[in-house]
Amino acid sequence: MDPQTATVVLALASAAAWGSADFGAGLAGRRAALFGVILFSQLAGCALALGIAAISGESPPGTAELAIAVVAGVIGGIGIGALYRGLATGRMGVVAPISGVLTAVVPVSAGIVLEGLPGAGVLVGIGLALVAVVLVATAPVGSAGSGRAPVGRFGGIPDDVLTAIVAGVALGLLTLALGQLPTGSVFGPLVVVRLVEATVIGLVILVARQSWRLPRSVWPLILVVGCLDMAGNALFILAAQAGRLDVAAVLSSLYPVATLILAAIVLKERVAGVHAIGVAVAMIAIVLVRIG
Convert the pLDDT of each residue in 210-233 to its tens digit: 889 999 999 999 999 999 999 999
Q: Which amino acid is at 99?
A: S
Report the pLDDT value the prediction gives residue 221, as an integer from 0 to 100: 94
Report the pLDDT value the prediction gives residue 27, as an integer from 0 to 100: 87
Report the pLDDT value the prediction gives residue 290, as an integer from 0 to 100: 85
The answer to whether the predicted template modeling score (pTM) of the entire model surpasses 0.75 is yes
| Every domain of the chain and the residues it spans | 3-291
Where are the alpha helices (H) located in the chain, listed in sequence order? 3-31, 34-56, 63-89, 92-115, 120-137, 159-178, 187-208, 219-242, 245-252, 255-266, 273-291
Q: pLDDT of 19-55, one tens digit each? A: 899 888 888 888 888 889 999 999 999 999 999 999 9
3-state helix, strand, coil in the chain (%, to 5): 80, 0, 20
Residue from 177, 135, 104 nearest 272 by CA: 135
According to DSSP, residue 90 is labeled S
Dihedral pair phi/psi, residue 210, rounded to 5°: -85, 150
Mapped onto helix, strand or coil, the DSSP state of residue 89 is helix
Stretches in the chain below the pLDDT threshold 50:
141-147
Report the pLDDT value the prediction gives residue 184, as an integer from 0 to 100: 87
Q: In whole angstroms, what is the distance from residue 254 CA to residue 252 CA? A: 5
Angle (nearest 5°) at CA 169 between 201 and 180 = 90
Residue from 106, 89, 265 nearest 171 by CA: 106
Report the pLDDT value the prediction gives residue 156, as an integer from 0 to 100: 63
Report the pLDDT value the prediction gives residue 141, as an integer from 0 to 100: 45
Cβ–Cβ under 8 Å, residues 235 and 17: yes
Cβ–Cβ under 8 Å, residues 45 and 191: no
Report the pLDDT value the prediction gives residue 152, as an integer from 0 to 100: 55
Report the pLDDT value the prediction gives residue 98, as an integer from 0 to 100: 86
Report the pLDDT value the prediction gives residue 146, as an integer from 0 to 100: 47
Q: What are the residues facing 157 on neighbouring strands?
A: 154
